[in-house]
Amino acid sequence: MAVRLRKGACLRVPVDHLRPTQITVGAYHVSQKIHVTRRLPRERLGAFLDRHRIHIVIGPEHTMFVVDHHHWVRAWHEMGIATVPAIVREDLNHLSWRAFWLHMVRNHLVHPYDEHGKRQPLKALPADIHGMRDDPYRSLEAFVQLAGGYRKVKTAYPDFRWADFFRREIDGPLDSHHAFAVALARGVRLAHSPKARKLPGYIGPCPARVRHKPR
């Protein structure tokens, strides 16, 4: 019987061997992570990668599936980093493919939604990290969160819920820096509005600015 890896085991894995559990990433958000990584001094790069380890699930035939940090691994892939640190969330190598995918779906470990927010069959998942497609609304929700629009929370796929909210409220295409900047300003306002109150991490209205009387 093959030895199963324990939960929390740390590995270094080839990026080309990783398979996504999502169809999309946000290209602008990937670019931001590339910028953050490139600014690091060489001697700090290893420790930085360790702090942002890719979370993986081991599937049948020892196939490695990314279940968290898709944007980081895509950024590092585009930078030419061949191997990355990973942490094992679960080792399900003992399951059949059918049982594996049932487990992944039931435990919210796969999210096969395309760049239009439409659910696709599991066979539509990309075969590799490079195959993930751009969804600009995923970048938009990420930058809204970074701007203080909402809090990070540990629920299943809050980023997709915010992306779909902005997709409904803000018309595209967001295919230029100017269009994206305009959408970001509007997105921050929307995130604090009552329309977003049922979304995970909702903060509420921005506190009113104190106005000082002229002297």
Boundary (domain end) residue, out of 109, 134, 159: 134
pLDDT of 206 above 80: no
Decide if 214 is inside a domain.
Answer: no
Phi, psi at residue 39, to the nearest 5°? Answer: -75, -15
pLDDT band (50, 70, 90) for residue 213: very low
pLDDT band (50, 70, 90) for residue 83: very high
Boundary (domain end) residue, out of 101, 134, 167: 134
For residues 204 and 14, give the distance between their C-alpha atoms in angstroms, rounded to a whole number.
42
Mean pLDDT over 97-121 rounds to 97
For residues 151 and 159, give the distance between their C-alpha atoms in angstroms, rounded to a whole number.
11
Q: Are 81 and 160 within one domain?
A: no
- What CATH number has the domain bearing residue 37? 3.90.1530.10
Mean pLDDT (the chain) is 93
Find the domain containing 173 and state its range: 136-196
Confidence (pLDDT) at 209: 47
105 or 208, which is more confident: 105
Q: Are 121 and 59 within one domain?
A: yes
Confidence (pLDDT) at 107: 96
155 or 32, which is more confident: 32
For the CA atoms of 8, 13, 16, 21, the dihedral, rounded to the nearest 10 degrees, stands at 0
Sign of CA dihedral 190, 145, 88, 12: positive
